[in-house]
Amino acid sequence: MSGQRSWLAVAIVAGLHVDARRAAVEEILHTVPGSVALHHDLTSAVDGTVHRTVRACDGLLSSGDAPLVNDCACCALREDLVPELLRLASEGGCRLAVVELWDSVEPQAMAAVIAGAGAPLVLTGVVTAVDPALVLPYLSNGDDLTEVGLAAAPNDQRTVGDTFARQLEYPTLIALAEEGSCGEDVVCADDADHALLDQLTPGARKVPGASGELGAALFAGFDVTAAAARVHPACALLPQECDEHGVSTFVWRGERPFHPGRLFTALEDLTCAAARSRGRFWLADRPDTLLSWDAAGGALCVQPAGPWLAALPDAAWEMVPAERRLAASVAWHPEHGDRCQYLTFTSPGLDRDGLSALLDSCLLTDEEYAAGRDRWTQLSHAFDNLLDPVTP
Can you give the three-state secondary structure of 232-294, one letter per residue? CCCCCCCCCCEEECCEEEEEEEECCCECHHHHHHHHHHHHCCCCEEEEEEEECCEEEEEEEEE
Residue 325 has, within 13 A of its CA and on its CB side, a CA count of 9
Choices 3.10.120, 3.40.720, 1.10.3470, 3.40.50: CATH for 8-231: 3.40.50
Q: Is the peptide bond before 120 cis (omega within 30 degrees of 0)?
A: yes
What's the pLDDT at 270?
97
388, burial (CB in 10 Å: exposed 0-12, middle 13-18, buried 19+): exposed
Chain region(s) in the chain for CATH 3.40.50? 8-231
What's the pLDDT at 49?
82
What's the pLDDT at 1?
37
Chain region(s) in the chain for CATH 3.30.1220.10? 242-387
What's the pLDDT at 180?
58
**pLDDT tens track, the chain, 392 positions:** 334 457 999 999 999 999 999 999 999 999 999 999 999 999 877 778 889 999 999 999 999 998 888 777 788 888 899 999 999 999 988 999 999 999 999 999 999 999 999 999 999 999 999 999 999 999 999 999 999 999 888 788 899 999 999 999 999 999 999 875 444 456 788 999 999 999 999 889 999 977 889 999 999 999 999 999 889 998 888 999 999 999 999 999 999 999 999 999 999 999 999 999 999 999 999 999 999 999 999 999 999 999 999 999 988 888 888 888 888 888 899 999 999 999 999 999 999 999 999 999 999 999 999 999 999 999 999 999 889 765 54
| Separation of alpha carbons 140 and 28, rounded Å | 30
CATH 3.30.1220.10 matches 242-387: yes
What's the pLDDT at 5?
54
**Is residue 87 within 8 Å of residue 135, measured between CB atoms?**
no
The CB density around residue 197, as the number of other CB atoms within 10 Å, is: 23
What's the pLDDT at 352?
96
233, burial (CB in 10 Å: exposed 0-12, middle 13-18, buried 19+): buried
